[in-house]
Amino acid sequence: MESTESRFLRYLQVDTPSDENNPSVTPSTPCQHALARMLCEELCALGLNAEVTENAYVYSAIEANCEGATAIGFIAHIDVVGEPKGYGVKPQVIRNYGGGDIVLPCGRIKASDFPELSDYVGKDIVTSDGSTILGADDKAGVAEIMSLAQYLVNHPEIRHGRVGIAFTPDEEIGHGAALFDLNKFGCKYAYTVDGEEMGEISYETFNGASFKITVNGVNIHPGQAKGRMINAVTVSNEIISAFPADERPETTEGREGYYFIMSVEGGVEKCTLHGIIRDHDSDKFDRRKQYVRRVVEDMRAKYGDRISVEIADQYRNCAEVIAPHIHLVENVRTAMRELGIQPITQPVRGGTDGSQLSYMGLPCPNICTGGRNAHGLNEFIAIQDMEKVVQILLKVVCAYAK
């Protein structure tokens, strides 16, 4: 019987970064197929029926062994972010962490920067070597669901309904639910296992949209530029300055929304600004989209029609879909309390596959994995916390068999 730790360390070393610059293909990177196939094979080795699609979605299930139980499923994503660096992960295990800084081969996780490390003294912590992300988002969720499957198969005496299992590609670029097959999954409710801090149970996400602003400039020799040059870089700077400084990711928290200019590409002749809009409140979200359009309209009034904008909705706050099924949240809270874990119910300052799946008809809150500092070089997770998450999932399965 393979341990959660062993599974996790294996999965971390399979490259799976998704590529936001290749959104028209699923998966956006061919490397994701390798982990999808591996998981399908491991599920089959447990004696389960499993399938991997041509788009790297994995579906399986542990069939019900009692009557009247509710079908419940668990979902995690196999991809990781590509930046700062998602390839070539070399996991490190710090046994019985004694406190203080964690010194890595290529970096250091400073206790002064991450005071929450004091909560992990005595635990076995997994990090990268400091040169890459770790990828606990969401390979921790993958490993936890696989451990749950293994436990249920090895303990047929545990009463349960159908337990659906699915692994998706491209969640990190917002496409994880795009080709999700609800019929193959075959569950009435589900959970994404894609949160972070131990105790998190979330059923409220941002509303999300992306935008692209294109600025076409006029390039003239600088010696002859007066009154004739339109520097797309300078205009782009004006556009960025038009967004409120106190409504950025680095200046907001909780349910506060924001505008985020993520990149500016180009030069004098042409610049492209890529950004996102986030807000938990639907009306405020709509007003934010209108504000982006107004900024562009103001710039067009000054520089002409050489400036354009494209806005695309990405996902919606799933709270209104999940609220009528609040038992999904309450059963997780109960499971956590029984295990001595204090539930933390807070809005996700982002989105999960569950955001889209909920609106597709599969109410889908998000459960913690135990990971911390996702998407960064200082990402870490405790093995003991991952094992606790497996226990939480097991208790939730049992709750729906009563």
SS (H, E, C) 249-296: HHHCCCCCCEEEEEEEEECCCEEEEEEEEEECCHHHHHHHHHHHHHHH
pLDDT on residue 118? 96
pLDDT on residue 104? 97
Catalytic residues: 79, 171
Is the model more confident about 254 or about 184?
Answer: 184
pLDDT bracket for residue 11 (50, 70, 90): very high
pLDDT bracket for residue 373 (50, 70, 90): very high
Instruction: Quote the Cα angle for 263-267-272, to 5°.
Output: 40
The mean pLDDT value for 188-210 works out to 94
The mean pLDDT value for 72-88 works out to 96
Model confidence at 23: pLDDT above 90: no
- 196 and 104 Cβ atoms separated by less than 8 Å: no
The whole-model pTM stands at 0.87
For residue range 208-219, what is the model confidence (pLDDT) as tens digits?
Answer: 999 999 999 999
pLDDT on residue 320? 87
Task: Determine how many CB atoms are found less than 10 A away from the CB of residue 240.
Answer: 15
pLDDT on residue 211? 97
Model confidence at 351: pLDDT above 80: no
pLDDT bracket for residue 314 (50, 70, 90): confident
pLDDT on residue 136? 98
pLDDT bracket for residue 122 (50, 70, 90): very high
Instruction: Quote the Cα angle for 183-398-325, to 5°.
Output: 60
Give CA–CA dist 330/191, Å, rounded.
Answer: 13
The 8-class DSSP code of residue 33 comes to H
- 266 and 232 Cβ atoms separated by less than 8 Å: yes
pLDDT on residue 239? 98
Q: Which two tokens stand for residue 212?
A: 């692209």
Domains of the chain in sequence order: 4-204+317-399 (3.40.630.10), 207-315 (3.30.70.360)
pLDDT on residue 268? 96
For residue range 43-77, what is the model confidence (pLDDT) as tens digits?
Answer: 999 999 999 999 999 999 999 999 999 999 999 99
Model confidence at 352: pLDDT above 80: no
**Greatest alpha-carbon span in the chain:** 84
Task: Determine how many CB atoms are found less than 10 A away from the CB of residue 255.
Answer: 14
Model confidence at 150: pLDDT above 80: yes
- 392 and 381 Cβ atoms separated by less than 8 Å: no
pLDDT on residue 349? 84
156: which residues sit within 8 A by CB, 6+ positions away?
Answer: 65
Q: Residue 279's closest CA among 254, 306, 246, 245? A: 254
Q: Residue 93's closest CA among 200, 197, 12? A: 12
The mean pLDDT value for 311-315 works out to 90
pLDDT on residue 128? 98
Model confidence at 273: pLDDT above 80: yes
9: which residues sit within 8 A by CB, 6+ positions away?
Answer: 91, 93, 126
The neighbouring-strand residues paired with 207 are 279
For residue range 212-262, what is the model confidence (pLDDT) as tens digits?
Answer: 999 999 999 999 889 999 999 999 999 999 999 999 999 999 889 999 999
Instruction: Quote the Cα angle for 238-243-248, to 5°.
Output: 130
pLDDT on residue 96? 98
Q: Residue 142's closest CA among 34, 12, 243, 322? A: 12
Average pLDDT, rounded, for the chain: 96
Instruction: Quote the Cα angle for 122-128-133, to 5°.
Output: 125
